[in-house]
Structure 1
Amino acid sequence: MFPQIRPQDIADILIMTFLLYQLYSWFKNSKALQVVLGLLFLGVIYFVTKSFGLFMTSWILQELGTVLLVLLIVVFQTEIRQALYRLSLLRNLFEHQESVVRLDLLEFSATAFSLGSQRIGALVVFQREELLDDLILHGVPMDSLVSGSLVTSIFMPGSPLHDGAVLVKDGRVALASCHLPLSVSADVPQHLGTRHRAALGLSERSDAAIVVVSEERGEVSLSLQGNLEVMSSQAQLHERLTSLLQPLSREEQRVGVFKRLFSNFWPKVAIFCVVVVSWLLITYRQGEILTVTAPVTFHNLPDNLTLTRSFPDEVDLQLKSFSNLVASPKNLDIVVDLDLSKAKEGNNNIPISKDLIRLPPGVVVVNLDRSLVRVTVEKKQPKPPTRKR
């Protein structure tokens, strides 16, 4: 019997699918994904051993998991910081919005192929939405417009800044002679040198667009999202950079949203199925109804009245749990707290409603054995005056 699906459950599944796919997209070409998969495998072994009563193995894995989680945070703190930055939907509201400077991408594309024809290596990083401060090391600060003559002079052999990468930020050359993180992927071809590995390493960890000019072959390549694409002409490089760096029109943004929704279709379907199966395992206890006895308490009794008698002192509640992650209703400290602000002298029938019972999310009241509590209140007797001696 499948659990009853609420609108909150659909939102829960969709949110977790989105978050897991984002984590997969960010870490799929890095060592962090392999470590996360290893931890997930250990987690599966832990739950299996615990369910079969292998206490020693499950205890060791539980203690080991705590230590590995701390090590994971320490070792991959840069990747975690970058992922949290990507998740920040409000970052554009707090970051300083600088004026957009139009790049002459046509001149830059011609310069890149001119350097390739002369067998002069070059590495140019174009920062897009994500900050690169934590990924780029060293570098000589600059603040210049991007021009063909400047790029050529920087990468000319013998120039003190030619060994490294150039960072283009907000339409201007911000740094030169930068060091980039190298790719550790085993799929990188052996004939690619340090420049190409640096371009792939940065593109695996960010959304930057990196142009690489090979010194040996004279090829001009574009690295994006962990992939390396060889440009066949200046026009192709100009078109690709324009689509990546220039703002899109509304119609192009709509097409882009549609493409992003259905791109990488099968990984998205696989992650969605994993989330659905996990949700079913977590909510298998949905529909279980337990009877819990809760004491009756009172508040807001007028100052001139005193409570003399109440019946009953306890109420039986039938509670329904929606998730295995929620503590069992038997372990909850549940109280029926009634408001006596409208009580009058004599006998009062105080109604009990489900809204008066405070429960954690995922637990609801199905039924009450009583709908009224009989309360007797009397006026307080005035204190006798004290005699002065």
Structure 2
Amino acid sequence: MQAVRFADILDITVISVLLYFSLIWLRQRASRSLVMGIGCVILLYICAQRLDMYLTSWLFRAGFTALLLTLVIVFQSDIRRAIERFAVWSEFHTKRTSIASSQTTGTLIEAVRKLAENKIGALLVIKGKEPLDRHIRGGVSLNGRISFPLIYGLFNTESPTHDGAVIIEGEKIDRFAVYLPLSQHVKEGGEAGTRHAAGIGISEVSDAFVIIVSEERGTISVAEQGRLEVLSSAAMLTDRINRFYNYIQPEKKAKKRFSWLRRNFGAKALSLLLTIALWMFFAYRAETIHRTFMVPIEWRNLPENFIIDNPKPLEARVSMSGTERNFNFDPNIMVISFDLGMVHDGIQDIPVVEKNLVNKPSGLTINQIDPRNIKLRAFAMTEVELPIKVKMDGNLPENVRLTAVTVEPEKIKVMVPKSRKEDFTVIHTDPINMYEITQSSVLKIKATLPESVRLSRDNPGIVRVKIDVKATSGKK
């Protein structure tokens, strides 16, 4: 088996974490039919990829963006909550949520027991780690310490605010007469009352713990993570509240080594196994493949007083081998580069080796580079001053006679190969069409440089040509 890279382990870890949270969300939020539907879609996609089902694969590609947008719209509240939970998790070590003392908890339970005994409806929300402001409406700020008379008085049927909810944070009642979002899953409550629907609703969109007292039956119910449970007695409420507080602030002595691993171990193991299977199915390819690329050749650090005479070839053929995943790169970033800082005058035979290949992908083997050697001719340049000769093409019109041709400047500075200095005696201009000259004119003409000749620095290579003509009298 081919060695697994660190990037592969990181890849599997990231997908496993995402898959784990997806499984937890599906277990808490989604119906069985939705889970089966998603599973069928994934299975169909795998079959389309492995069996080369062209039309089905095209449909998946075409509809992926629309499907992704639809999922974002449908599950926007869950996505927002996931982001909020991540923000809360990142701040957990710097800001801890306060909890009530055992004495205050006892006072709260006694007040709830008394409300249930007298069949007085009540709705109490104990804040968890996540913020509630986005989900609640209205309410009156209180910030009062929890006491039996205060709780009993807030839910007294004669009070105008008794139908609202109370928000509890730590030792105090933060707000009362608060309106909560209603759940669409009222069947979870059995009693299908508005108070129960509101209690389930806030527990669906946050990690709050909700206590609900029914004014019809006098029962005590708790809502957590979108699930409602009717308690047989007020004594059971003590254990449930303590468990919730332990979730907010786990006791150090209660923490066990690797407890994070044992929590939801089945979902974590399934996520890891599924990710490894998907990685083996799609990403891992043990067979070695060969591919060839045409890579451009570049020259760098060429001294200013040197030129390369018509370098060839301009590309090299590079053959590589490796696994399919190693070829997942942009071949346009590769280049074969030569450092000509130590170039000398004349013909040079430069070997092409692997170190000349810049931006070579990791994990690939270079089998061959063709050509193996590159021949180039370098010229050491020297500056000379050569006369300008105007090149004239064609004849003047019949009624026009040329009197003088002058050029300014008369000479131009150029760089020529030092070894061929004597071969260059004159620089011509671009040809001038003399048939178009009907009167004396001044033209700006570009100098035509022979091969291997370069203009000196700051020399535009433009000369000023003055053509003087005189009209002649022709016979009618």
Q: Sort the TM-score into its range (normalised by shorter chain).
A: 0.7 to 0.9
* DSSP 3-state at the match of 1:221: strand
Whether 1:179 and 2:162 are equivalent positions in the alignment is: no
Answer yes or no: is the 8 Å Cα contact 2:98–2:169 preserved in 1: no
Answer yes or no: is the 8 Å Cα contact 1:142–1:176 preserved in 2: no
**Aligned residue runs from structure 1 range 203-218, under 5 A:** 203-218=203-218
Answer yes or no: is the 8 Å Cα contact 2:97–2:129 preserved in 1: no
Larger Rg: 2
Distance 2:46 2:315 in 1: 42
Letter in 1 for 2:84: Y
- Alignment match, 1:298: 298
Distance 2:127 2:377 in 1: 73
CA spacing shift, 1:108–1:90, aligned 2, 3 Å? closer
Answer yes or no: is the 8 Å Cα contact 2:354–2:366 preserved in 1: no
Distance 2:190 2:45 in 1: 40
Distance 1:316 1:142 in 2: 73
With CA pairs under 8 Å and 6+ residues apart, which has the higher RCO, 1 or 2? 1
Superimposed CA distance per residue, residues 319-362 of structure 1 (whole angstroms, 9 cap, x where no aligned partner)? 32353xx8767x84352332526443254556433983344xxx
Distance 2:259 2:355 in 1: 50
Distance 1:102 1:384 in 2: 94
Q: CA deviation at 1:281?
A: 1.0
CA spacing shift, 1:237–1:69, aligned 2, 3 Å? closer
Distance 1:75 1:9 in 2: 32
CA spacing shift, 1:328–1:200, aligned 2, 3 Å? same
Alignment match of 2:319 (pick from 304, 317, 320): 317
* Aligned alpha-carbon RMSD (Å): 3.9
Superimposed CA distance per residue, residues 31-74 of structure 1 (whole angstroms, 9 cap, x where no aligned partner)? 48865763453343245356556555554555444333322212
Distance 1:32 1:124 in 2: 28
Q: Give the TM-score normalised by structure 2.
A: 0.66
Superimposed CA distance per residue, residues 359-386 of structure 1 (whole angstroms, 9 cap, x where no aligned partner)? 4xxx632234259765646355244347
Q: Give the TM-score normalised by structure 1.
A: 0.78
Superimposed CA distance per residue, residues 138-190 of structure 1 (whole angstroms, 9 cap, x where no aligned partner)? 2214141241333322222132222232223465514532222415286x263
More helix by share: 1
- Alignment match, 2:28: 29
Letter in 2 for 1:338: S
The gaps in structure 2 that reach 5 residues or longer are 388-408, 411-476
- Alignment match, 1:79: 78
- Alignment match, 2:67: 68
Q: CA deviation at 1:278?
A: 0.8
- Alignment match, 2:280: 280
Alignment match of 2:359 (pick from 339, 350, 357): 357
More strand by share: 2
Q: CA deviation at 1:194?
A: 3.8
The gaps in structure 1 that reach 5 residues or longer are none
- Alignment match, 2:224: 224
Answer yes or no: is the 8 Å Cα contact 1:116–1:214 preserved in 2: yes
- Alignment match, 1:236: 239
* DSSP 3-state at the match of 1:211: strand
- The sequence identity of aligned pairs, in percent, is 21
- Alignment match, 1:270: 270
Distance 2:328 2:242 in 1: 60
Distance 1:6 1:53 in 2: 28
**Aligned residue runs from structure 1 range 1-389, under 5 A:** 4-31=3-30, 35=34, 38-49=37-48, 55-56=54-55, 58-60=57-59, 62-88=61-87, 91-92=90-91, 100=98, 104-134=104-134, 136-148=135-147, 149-169=149-169, 172-174=173-175, 176-182=177-183, 184=185, 188=188, 190-191=190-191, 193-229=193-229, 230=231, 232-233=234-235, 235-237=238-240, 239-245=242-248, 247-252=249-254, 254-255=255-256, 258-298=258-298, 300-304=300-304, 305-308=306-309, 309=311, 313-321=315-323, 323=325, 332-333=331-332, 335-340=334-339, 342-345=341-344, 347=348, 348-349=350-351, 351-353=353-355, 356-359=358-361, 364-370=363-369, 374=374, 376=376, 378-385=378-385, 388=409
Answer yes or no: is the 8 Å Cα contact 1:122–1:213 preserved in 2: yes
